[in-house]
Chains A and B, each alone.
Chain A
Amino acid sequence: MNSSNTYYPEGASFRSALNTRYRVASMWQMIFFSALLIAIISLTALLYNVIDGAFGYIAFDYKKDPATFSATPLPDLKKDELLTILKDHLSAGAYNKLDNEQPMLKRSQADLYSLFMERLIQIDTKQTWSLTESILHGAEIRAEVAKDYPGAKLEFRSWLTPQFLVSPMSSRAEFAGVRTAVLGSLWLVGIALLFAMPIGIGAAIYLQEYAPRNLLTRIIQTNINNLAGVPSIVYGMLGLAIFVRVLEPFTSGRLFGVTDSNGRTILSAGLTMGVLVLPLIIINAQEAIKAVPDSLRQAAYGVGATKWQTVWHHVLPNAIAGILTGSILALSRALGETAPLIIVGASTFISIDPNSPFSKFTALPIQIYQWTTRAQSEFHAIAAGAIIVLMVLLLTLNATAILLRNRFQRKY
């Protein structure tokens, strides 16, 4: 019996079978490639959509002619001229209110100029166009404006400007900015970080290095894993019940002598966010600690180290890169969360910077959500601008995570 030819195909039949194997392989390769392609297309569409909305033509008119206030051409107005104009034409009540927010004399020329434009001249936006429309149909848009809005000015406008970053909220989209929202988001993330990182890392160290491997530990571990998947709105409910209501004397700052606020403060929201990211931080830190090889622990124990010395001198320094990266990625989730903030009570309209943990607040996602629900198209344009700001903030956080990882990473 010729055993070499009994069970395996040879020659032509082997080659035909091999071709079939290659065909199946290339089919799967195509499927995986399509999956990647779909992902790339979706991301590109998202980016296009955001950028498309943030730039474009705007047709507008001045409600009042600048010439009625001053003979000087608009952009050349000096600070003292602007001050006089504002004082003369604003009602005394409105002027005093502005002066209370920030003394008029201390404001910059740009600030006064935008106040002048916003309060007195009052831009009246007729229509806005997206970037694609503006580029592809520029001539038609000009013709349309000339026909429908005689006397209106047409301008190509970037809604994302330095002014947009530093201006507070306004009821007029043309003058609104994300300053209050960005500061609110930073406060939130900062409070969440201060609250969740020490607790999360501590819990991870205990679970990984100290906790006995028994039923109770397994139950706790399973629950932490599940908590990481709980919808954020549930954390919002928790925050409302615990931080806003039960701990109100603390979160409103009444215990510290703050009198003019209720529990719906930036502190409540930050703590809610902290609780939200806590399971993520614990899990990420646990993974980082798990990745430290056991041989290192044994080496330390072998020279007579105590558990604490082993953890402090060897496990933590070697896990710190992973812990920081994981924590930062968890915080970037906090930066993008909206639902819990709505429940905890973010302000929908606020133009005063948050200046203490007991301030009222708004945050970028809230601001974006709010602007997109407005009917006027110019609000959708600034929402697109705010989305870009949010994405840049997120990318900055993630880039920091990568930098930290590269900086601290060690090889075994």
Chain B
Amino acid sequence: MKNIQSTEYAIETKSLFIFYGSFAAVSEVNIKIAKQKITAIIGPSGCGKSTLLRSFNRMNDFVPTSYVTGEILLHGQNLYNTDIDPVEVRRKIGMVFQKPNPFPKSIYENIAWGARINGFKGNMDELVEQSLRSAALWDEVKDKLKQSAYELSGGQQQRLCIARTIAIQPEIILMDEPASALDPISTLRIEELMQELKKKYTIIIVTHNMQQAARVSEYTAMMMISREGQRSGTVIEFDDTKKIFTNPKDKRTEDYVTGRFG
């Protein structure tokens, strides 16, 4: 993949459709994700938010029968071109999952493993420390790096997963409801961390929590089932978060963000 830093957009989709077999789970998505900003994807359950997010780093490839049409452009290059290796895509576009899923290894190894398999040649100890500092976890774990990651609390585990992701220095971090399994205090810490991280990384977050979207993001994409009967989700409105929450153009968005939706 070429490293062109010219566009102000980190990622851009052009008439993107995502299919599971003959079923279009997501249809006709045209959005431009701004660089080093936080973009939230909101919408009711089953509207294809996670599917859309996972298409950005080709995690949907693991679902048999799934395929996309249209384009997802990173630096002007379609991620689904046949000459693009999905492993390379995931190296550039990291992901944090809904449930914290550290490796059943030591805290140190959780970070070192991803770096090692990607051929990291620098000082591993430094990388581990720096990644943990960036994820605001260093002070809590610096004395127990050799302990199992499973001994950490849920919130710490999720920050470890974020540290693991930034250790391989991606350009974009995808977050799939990263705080939905956490208590309010841990959630707050993750949100604060996101504000720090966006100085270096582009963040796309899927969330069910509208206050969270309003709190953390600059841009919001509102997704919804497009036409009744077809059950295919699409982005019905994409704008500044402020606008989405205070002055949405679409009636459905307004109903949803004000809690009046069905």
A interface residues (Cβ-Cβ under 8 A, vs B): 212-213, 293, 295-306, 309, 313-314, 318, 410-412
Instruction: Assess the B64–A295 pair: CB atoms within 8 A.
Output: no
B205 at the interface (CB under 8 A from A): no
Residues in A with CB closer than 8 Å to B14 are none
User: Which of chain B's residues has its CB closest to A293's CB?
Assistant: B101
Are A318 and B104 within 8 A (Cβ)?
yes
Which residues on the B side are within 8 Å of A412 (C-beta)? Answer: 104, 150
Contact A295 B91 (CB under 8 A): no
7 tightest A-B contacts by CB? A303-B114, A304-B91, A295-B101, A302-B95, A299-B101, A304-B90, A213-B64
8 Å CB contact of A305 from B59, B101, B117: B117
Q: In the complex the two chains form, is B64's CB within 8 Å of A299's CB?
A: no
Q: Determine if B99 is an interface residue (Cβ-Cβ < 8 Å).
A: yes
CA distance A314 to B101 in the complex (A): 12
Chain A residues whose C-beta falls within 8 Å of the C-beta of B102 in the assembled complex = 299
Does B165 touch A at the CB level, under 8 Å?
yes
Taking a contact as CB atoms under 8 Å apart, the answer to whether B117 and A304 are in contact is yes
CB distance from A187 to the nearest CB of B (A): 38
Known: A303-B117, A304-B168, A410-B104. A295 touches B150 (CB 8 A): no
Residue of B nearest to A411 (CB): B150
* B161 lies within 8 A of chain A by Cβ: yes
Interface size on B, residues (CB 8 A): 27
A298 close to B59 (CB less than 8 A): yes
Q: In the assembled complex, which residues on chain B have CB atoms less than 8 Å from the CB atom of A295?
A: 97, 99, 101
Contact status A301-B90, CB under 8 Å: yes
- Complex CA gap A77/B94 in Å reads 82
Give the distance to chain A from B236, nearest Cβ to Cβ, in Å: 29
User: Is B59's CB under 8 angstroms from A314's CB?
Assistant: no
Asked if B103 is at the interface of the complex by the 8 Å CB criterion, the answer is: yes
Within the assembled complex, what's the spacing in Å between the Cα atoms of A137 and B97? Answer: 75
Q: CA–CA, A304 to B104, complex, Å?
A: 18
Residues of B within 8 A of A (CB): 57, 59, 62, 64, 87-88, 90-91, 94-97, 99, 101-104, 113-114, 117-118, 150, 161, 164-165, 167-168
Whole-angstrom CA separation of A309 from B90 in the bound complex: 14
Kindly list 18 other residue pairs between chains A and B, CB separation below 8 angstroms, not including A299-B103, A302-B165: A295-B101, A296-B103, A298-B59, A298-B97, A299-B102, A299-B164, A301-B62, A301-B90, A302-B57, A303-B90, A303-B94, A303-B167, A304-B87, A304-B91, A304-B168, A305-B114, A306-B87, A309-B117
Residue of A nearest to B164 (CB): A303
Q: Please, which residues of chain A bring their CB within 8 A of the CB of B165?
A: 302-303
Which A residues are in CB contact (< 8 Å) with B104?
296, 318, 410-412
Q: Is the CB of B101 within 8 A of A298?
A: yes
Q: In the complex, what residues of B have CB within 8 A of residue A305's CB?
A: 87, 114, 117
Q: Which residue of B lies closest to A304 (CB)?
A: B91
CB nearest neighbor in B for A213 = B64
Interface centre among A300, A302, A305, by most chain B C-beta atoms within 10 angstroms, is A302
A306 proximity list for chain B (CB < 8 A): 87, 117
The CA-CA distance from A298 to B62 in the complex, in Å, is 9
Given the complex of chains A and B, what is the CA–CA distance between A291 and B180 in angstroms?
24
- 17 A-B residue pairings within 8 Å (CB atoms): A212-B64, A213-B64, A295-B97, A295-B99, A298-B59, A298-B62, A299-B97, A299-B101, A302-B94, A303-B90, A303-B118, A303-B164, A304-B87, A304-B90, A305-B114, A314-B103, A411-B104
- A304 proximity list for chain B (CB < 8 A): 87-88, 90-91, 114, 117-118, 168
CB closest chain-B residue, reference A313: B113
Q: How far is the CB of A3 from chain B (nearest CB, A)?
A: 30
- Residues of chain B contacted by A410 (CB below 8 angstroms): 104
Q: For the complex, what is the distance from the CA of A303 to the CA of B161, rounded to whole Å?
A: 10
CB-CB nearest in chain B for A412: B104
**Docked complex Cα distance between A295 and B100 (Å):** 9
Known contacts A212-B64, A295-B97, A306-B87; A301 and B59 CB within 8 A of each other: yes
Q: Which chain B residues lie closer than 8 Å to A293 at the CB level?
A: 101
From known contacts A304-B118, A305-B87, infer whether A296 and B113 are also in contact, taking CB-CB under 8 Å.
no
Contact of A303 with B113 in the complex, beta carbons under 8 Å: yes
Give the distance to chain B from A401, nearest Cβ to Cβ, in Å. 21
Residues of chain B within 8 A (CB-CB) of A300 are 103
* Cβ distance A335 to chain B, nearest Cβ, rounded Å: 33
| A213 surroundings in chain B (CB, below 8 A) | 64
Residues in A with CB closer than 8 Å to B99 are 295
Contacts of B117 in A (CB 8 A): 303-306, 309, 313
A299 (CB) vs chain B CBs: closest residue: B101
How many angstroms between the C-alpha atoms of A411 and B148 in the bound complex? 11
Q: B20 CB to closest chain A CB, in angstroms? A: 13
